[in-house]
Structure 1
């Protein structure tokens, strides 16, 4: 389905008028990406909608990014077209609802194929750029576009980025809709558990590079009628010696309710990730995370600790229950508009679970190795473990709960020859919980990626 038609029409007009302008075509990039994705999720509960999900899909993504026209204000266009083909879901192995991998038809079966197109118009003045349209994929502490399934998550709205001051990057914007990782339709923006949406997610912030080894960050975000969020971050890399370093990464979020969510208006309640809330339906959370990574040659060892406050869970955009106009998603067996599933800027955004419920204290560690040090460039592997406890019972009076997850990942990218750039990723995860209401799961993802650059 095509959206952002106005932006697309303007962009095509600009392209037609400026095709001969120096810089517009000379700096253009055109690429075709192929992603073959096998997804398996073994849900260990008899009450699960689908106990054993197994699906395979092929997705082709054509990206065009122009340069900028000459003049004081340069103009350009970014356009994207996606075609996806569902190869095999296996009889009875495609969940009709709540599917974060592939859209469903109205009868609950997987859509055989899909397509969608988006475009942005972009403007540049000096070292400042404005991007407006429906192919936005922000990578910011307060919002990370998700690309962990077959389809990428896109947003529509406007984002301005300025680098006029040395070592300082300022970013601000407003987003109105999103197209999810298992969706062909855009929806309004919301939070987990809500049945109403908002079309105003405003944000602003910056990254300041104090020294070559130290960066500090501050961002503010407001999803109208749902929440306000402040973020503070610090990243420092300490060189120890030859091919050896120690990295410190500190992240702090402070979130509170806004507008209708704080006045108990029907449809605007946050379900606190299915967990406890001091004030039912409201956002009231402080989460901080500290990560420390020691790197020696090809070895990397990461350890960390994360704390979620007692009054409620961590909040993030997750609009799986609303349509584009902000209404509740119809319970018709179809999830063509099911826009659930997103990423967030915490290490505990793992393969299966999130570790962001009220009161949760999480210890985590990860070991990674780059096999280029053994003469196999392009091959990397990692294994991680997360353990969260002190999770407050949803009733507020029951015993605390715990959960753990073990993940492994192997990546290989061909370095030479005709298949140069062809990549393979294998990810596995095992999750077990005590009393959280989340089913124990084992998950496997096998992904093949290749990108061909025409320009």
Structure 2
């Protein structure tokens, strides 16, 4: 932490001397984002503990995110800096409805929700021609091999460095290394791991690119390595077939090949395989493919897809491990996203052997003269789930619905509201039944 902080401080000092350079200030942006959220997660069949709690999470909170994004100084190589301040406030916990493992509000030493928490991060950046490099502690990647999670009050962020190059027309190259992450419900940074891991890696490296073959076809390849846990290859294809002015057919194909690396399988470096089967206990060995097809007609969108998780082990993605404090309580670091269609509101559908068929219908009411109003409903069903002993007779399903509205004009222009409700049910060892509701209000004000 000391080395990265010192390097960033030096970068800030250099930039301060050039702050008056054209572009650095002229292209700067400063914005304040507000998110108010009510989160209700009802564990339907979990027994109550000694304190009378059954793991239900029923709380509300307020999050603020202040972002400063500078332009670049003039010259062959331009320099800049981005800074981010995050602040979360606990509004109401609903007595008895704040579990110790909550990923919504951090837990205090007595197991209750903290009143507030926050953190600060900053990135130094440089640009040469059409290539940009970023280094710091407020990185939010959105790549096939790593997706920053923003599903609660505050976003998950990463510490490390990235570089993106667009020197070649139609080709975007990305590479980088991350060493730590800051969880969405935590003020602390943690090392990098996988679900079930208790030891840190602190070295996640990746490289890959997106090749836009034509205006309708994009091909992707990425490689990533979480040292001592896994190596992963990704192949992707996205094609959009225009049918008419208001009609199109989209094909989205994805394939992951993940294998063990270094100490994976040893004590502390074991992967939970998402609670399912593993050919070799604690080791990573998975191949996953998925296909999604979307037909769009005016404001209507019809989506249908299928996903197959390999039989030898569950799908793996970067997480923050089983991070607990000195009292054995979750630090709020949990909660990570990944690049599968089945990364749903409640469940992941990522156990060994699982065959998942899913569909979604959505409608944009702008076609009826109500811009900003959208709604969708989706359903996923996973079969052939293999439990730890290899029995593949389990299944699970999830139904999600949401409605979103963003005010388009007037005093409250830009204020967004989202109501989401999900229902999850699983058979046998598939998972605990849950009902979940989220009510979210988002607003961003730009100062410059």
Please, what TM-score do these two structures have when normalized by structure 1? 0.95
What residue number does 1:184 align with? 187
SS of the residue corresponding to residue 260 of structure 1 reads coil
Query: After superposition, where does 1:8-407 map in structure 2 within 5 Å?
Result: 8-47=8-47, 50-96=54-100, 98-261=101-264, 264-322=265-323, 329-330=324-325, 332-336=327-331, 338-396=332-390, 398-407=391-400
Question: What is the rounded CA distance, in whole Å, between the counterparts of 1:185 and 1:334 in structure 2?
Answer: 14
Question: What is the rounded CA distance, in whole Å, between the counterparts of 2:186 and 2:252 in structure 1?
Answer: 33
SS of the residue corresponding to residue 6 of structure 2 reads helix
What is the deviation of 1:16?
A: 2.0
Provide, for residues 144-198 of structure 1, a one-character-per-residue CA deviation record: whole Å limited to 9, x for no partner: 0000111100000000000000000000000000001111101000001111110
What is the deviation of 1:438?
A: 1.8
Point out the more displaced range, 105-114 or 199-208. Answer: 105-114
| TM-align CA RMSD | 1.5
- Structure 2, unmatched stretches of 5+, are none
Query: Is 1:443 aligned with 2:436?
Result: yes
What is the deviation of 1:3?
A: 11
CA contact (8 A) 1:156 1:178 kept: yes
Point out the more displaced range, 224-233 or 428-437. Answer: 428-437
Question: What is the rounded CA distance, in whole Å, between the counterparts of 1:315 and 1:395 in structure 2?
Answer: 19
Query: Is 1:408 aligned with 2:409?
Result: no
SS of the residue corresponding to residue 259 of structure 1 reads coil
CA contact (8 A) 1:103 1:334 kept: no
Provide, for residues 39-96 of structure 1, a one-character-per-residue CA deviation record: whole Å limited to 9, x for no partner: 0000012326634311111011100000000111110000000111100001111112
Question: What is the rounded CA distance, in whole Å, between the counterparts of 1:441 and 1:200 in structure 2?
Answer: 35
Question: What is the rounded CA distance, in whole Å, between the counterparts of 2:379 and 2:2 in structure 1?
Answer: 41
Please list every run of at least 4 consecutive aligned residues from structure 1 whose deviation after the TM superposition is greater than 4 angstroms: 1-4
- Structure 1, unmatched stretches of 5+, are 323-328
Provide, for residues 388-411 of structure 1, a one-character-per-residue CA deviation record: whole Å limited to 9, x for no partner: 000012112x35200000000111
What is the deviation of 1:12?
A: 3.1
Paired positions, count: 444
Question: What is the rounded CA distance, in whole Å, between the counterparts of 2:42 and 2:248 in structure 1?
Answer: 39
Question: What is the rounded CA distance, in whole Å, between the counterparts of 2:244 and 2:287 in structure 1?
Answer: 37
What is the deviation of 1:435?
A: 1.5
CA contact (8 A) 1:11 1:120 kept: no
CA contact (8 A) 1:105 1:335 kept: no
What is the deviation of 1:226?
A: 0.1
